[in-house]
Amino acid sequence: MEEKEKIATPDELQEYFINMGPQHPSTHGVLRLLVSLKGEMVQSVQPHVGYIHSGIEKMCESITYPQIIHLTDRMDYLSAHINNEAVCLNVEKALEVDIPDRIKVIRTIMSELTRIQSHQLWWASFGMDLGGLTCFFYGLRDREKVLDIFEETCGGRMIVSYSCPGGLMYDIHPNFQKRVKDFIKYFRKILPEYDQLLSGNVIFHERSKGIGKLTKEDAISFGITGPSGRASGFSCDVRKHEPYSAYDRVHFNEVLLTEGDTFSRYIARIEEMRESMNIIEQLIDNIPEGPFTVKMKPVIKLPEGEYYQRVETARGELGVFVISDGNKNPYRVKFRSPNFCNLSVLDHISRGFKIADLVAIGGSLDLIIPDIDR
């Protein structure tokens, strides 16, 4: 007699491990996730990082402050300008340098352009992760326009190194204001297309609503900042709480949502692009006249002490902590990177979901690997 073939029920399935990465396309870099599965249900996720650890904090101990700027570009390469600004603000705060309004306003406009292009790339790759290849073309097409503005003014497209302690490397290009205004006009028209393509898409809703829920308490305890934290209702926008540069003179809303799932993390970023455009529109016509740099000493030495500067990058709160012993090199530099903290929550919020949802959750956290490894 033939024995009836037995089909295993989910309770009887054996637990097994697979490696997602370090060369998996949805990890957007060299991130290795050791995923424990039962069937296709995720039991736990262990991130293994360090594949591109470059020892930036150690390198900073042997170089001068103006040189550190160029290393910070390489951490979160999509928020390059905001990283530069964080170090500059910290040095200027320590030396008590008064920065003219022109520099503050230009820095703020550049920061917001950086935020827009970062969210554009995120939108492009997030859509592609979930199967919508058109998103990738749309996102990158529009991002090129911002990168062209950067190229004209800073010389670099991604790695801009535009701020330096005491001001900016160069003045803005004569075309800058016109091109930014053209871009805002163009992008205001194009952003509803993004909504048509993904935000209102039924398949996308099925893939993202209710997936990877993060409560407000957990967001605070894990230190999840940026759009990911604000999607859970954690009010953590440094631009509002500790305004730097010209953020105290512009009106904008902090995007706060309550659900904390993948879909609300998506909406938070889309809305942030709109807020960024509002900020730029308020400033672009009112760039004050004046010098683009303040004369600093040729060798910058920070007084003995500890200095902490927080800024809001496209992914959350970046902290630059400098301990100075009075020399031209810092004694110790610590970068509190937003992605490092955001990664730590991945295990917590993806347990119990399917492995395909892990791709959606990882994409919605918008991880940049060089910023984790530093």
Partner 1 sequence: MDKIQLGEFINSIAGALEIKEGNQYLEVTVPPSLLYKLARQLREKEESQFDFLFCITGVDYGADLGVIYHLRSTIYDHSVVLKTRTSDRENPILDSVADIWHAADFHEREVYDLLGIKFKNHPDLRRLFLDNSWGFPLRKDYVDDVNIVTK
Binding residues vs partner 1 (CB under 8 A): 49-50, 53, 55, 57-58, 218, 220-223, 234-236, 241, 305-308, 317, 319, 321, 323, 332, 334, 336, 340-341, 343-345, 348, 373
Q: How far is the CB of 174 from partner 1 (least distance, A)?
A: 39
Angle at 106 between CA 305 and CA 340, to 5 degrees: 55
Q: Which residues, other chains included, contact 358 with Cβ-Cβ below 8 Å and sequence gap of 6+?
A: 20, 33, 35, 42, 45, 350
Q: How far is the CB of 54 from partner 1 (least distance, A)?
A: 10
Q: How far is the CB of 43 from partner 1 (least distance, A)?
A: 15
Beta bridge partners of 355: none
Q: Are 264 and 227 in contact (CB under 8 A)?
A: no
CA distances from 36 to 164, 213, 275 (A): 46, 19, 39
Q: How far is the CB of 58 from partner 1 (least distance, A)?
A: 5
Q: How far is the CB of 145 from partner 1 (least distance, A)?
A: 35
Residue with Cβ nearer partner 1 (283 or 346)? 346
Q: Residue 163 corresponds to which amino acid?
A: S
Residue with Cβ nearer partner 1 (92 or 129)? 92
Q: How far is the CB of 334 from partner 1 (least distance, A)?
A: 4
Q: How far is the CB of 226 from partner 1 (least distance, A)?
A: 12
Q: How far is the CB of 13 from partner 1 (least distance, A)?
A: 25
Q: And the tokens for 9?
A: 């029920």
Residue with Cβ nearer partner 1 (58 or 188)? 58
Concatenated DSSP letters of 111-138:
HHHHHHHHHHHHHHHHHHHTT-HHHHHH
Concatenated DSSP letters of 139-196:
HHHHHHHHHHHHHHHHS-SSS---EETTEESSPPPTTHHHHHHHHHHHHHHHHHHHII
CA distances from 84 to 311, 313, 357 (A): 10, 11, 34
Q: Are 317 and 238 in contact (CB under 8 A)?
A: yes
Q: Are 106 and 280 in contact (CB under 8 A)?
A: no
Residue with Cβ nearer partner 1 (134 or 221)? 221
Q: How far is the CB of 346 from partner 1 (least distance, A)?
A: 11
Tell the burial category of 16 from Cβ atoms under 10 Å away from its Cβ (0-12, 13-18, 19+).
Answer: exposed
Q: How many CB atoms lie within 10 A of CB 320?
A: 25
* Among 353, 349, 372, 359, residue whose Cα is nearest residue 128: 359
Q: How far apart are CA 167 and CA 84, in angstroms?
A: 11
Residue with Cβ nearer partner 1 (136 or 340)? 340
Residue with Cβ nearer partner 1 (111 or 225)? 225
Residue with Cβ nearer partner 1 (50 or 288)? 50
Residue with Cβ nearer partner 1 (96 or 289)? 96
Residue with Cβ nearer partner 1 (150 or 307)? 307
